[in-house]
Structure 1
Amino acid sequence: MIAKYILPHLIGLVCIVSGWYVAIINVGLFKFNQERSLHTKETLAGLVLIIIGAYIPHIWIGIGNMFSKKKD
């Protein structure tokens, strides 16, 4: 029972951390020679990963619960 909740949250955590890495670390620390801008492809990709990581566990668990109730 607990295992079906752990996997979606681990995947969500990986998405959030990778989105944070792309948006903050990659853009803030490794883009010294480029013009500083808050609106880049990397920051948008990081934001999308963070949003996906925040919502995917709840969607995944909700869909899993919906199908498990139909089988009972």
Structure 2
Amino acid sequence: MLQPDKNFLIKLAHTKMPYGKYKDRYLIDLPEYYIVWYHTKGFPKGALGMMLQTVYELKLNGLEELVRTIKLKYPLP
């Protein structure tokens, strides 16, 4: 089983949506319907797409609080 990358999760916890209707909202705080829309449409390429796909999986499994806890425990410098 793959272990989650701690640094990836810390970065995910602190990343905000860079564009669109939900610009500047933390990815984990994006509405579920918006993440599902991306899942249906296709996630963007690169790091943002990987993060949005991870958010989709976290929300699907009810694990959003995990990322919110990481954001509090590991603030960015």
TM-score relative to the length of structure 2:
0.26
Give 1 or 2 for the bigger CA radius of gyration. 1
Structure (1 or 2) with the greater helix fraction = 1
Which of the pair has the greater relative contact order for Cα pairs under 8 Å at 6+ separation? 1
TM-score relative to the length of structure 1:
0.27
